[in-house]
């Protein structure tokens, strides 16, 4: 089974709120909430993929970020190398550019949303 590299942006604003988006129901882990991100393309670093995906999905350009966590996760039908970046400064205003619902929520509120299993360990670490 091919392992996919995925880059994810954990965006935190100045009020300590986190940006989450609802996955389309027809996608892998559809109907669950997620941090913006996606597949690392060929000839692209995980960092470049995070910057590109964040802009494509929600219109934000990160200006201050660091690698927060890197982990391998096996969903059975998919194996993923996940690169989570904590983005604490950014340009732009968040909007669902792919018509996906997005929300800013507090750290405590993250517990109330259904995330893919791989995200739960990272949320616990935030």
Q: Where are the domains of the chain?
A: 3-125
β pairing state of 3-11 and 79-91 = parallel
pLDDT of the residue at 27: 86
Q: How many CB atoms lie within 10 A of CB 51?
A: 19
Contact call for residues 53 and 72 (beta carbons, < 8 A): no
Kindly report, residue by residue over 88-99, the tens digit of the pLDDT. 999 999 999 999
Q: Is 110 helix (H, G, I), strand (E, B) or coil?
A: helix
| Alpha carbon 58 to its chain's center | 11
Q: How many CB atoms lie within 10 A of CB 35?
A: 23
Q: How high is the mean pLDDT of the chain?
A: 95
pTM for the model stands at: 0.94
Higher pLDDT, 109 or 118: 109
- Kindly tell me if the per-residue pLDDT of 28 is higher than 90: no
Give the Cα separation of 37 and 58 in Å (integer). 10
Give the Cα separation of 7 and 83 in Å (integer). 5
Give the Cα separation of 71 and 80 in Å (integer). 8
For residue 64, report the phi and psi dihedrals to the nearest 5 degrees: -140, 115
Q: Does the structural domain 3-125 have CATH classification 3.40.50.300? A: no
Give the Cα separation of 33 and 42 in Å (integer). 26
Structure tokens at 86: 């904590």
Kindly report, residue by residue over 43-88, the tens digit of the pLDDT. 999 999 999 999 999 999 999 999 999 999 999 989 999 999 999 9
């Amino acid at each position: 089974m091919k392992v996919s590299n995925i880059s994810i942006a954990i965006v935190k604003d100045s009020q300590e709120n986190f940006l989450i988006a609802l996955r389309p129901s027809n996608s892998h882990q559809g109907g669950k909430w997620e941090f913006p991100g996606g597949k690392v393309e060929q000839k692209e670093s995980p960092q470049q993929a995070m910057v590109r995906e964040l802009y494509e999905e929600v219109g934000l350009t990160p200006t201050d970020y660091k690698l927060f966590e890197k982990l391998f996760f096996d969903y059975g039908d998919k194996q993923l190398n996940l690169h989570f970046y904590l983005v604490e400064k950014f340009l732009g205003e968040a909007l669902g550019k792919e018509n996906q619902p997005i929300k800013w929520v507090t750290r405590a509120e993250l517990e109330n949303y259904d995330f893919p299993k791989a995200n739960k360990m990272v949320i616990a670490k935030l």
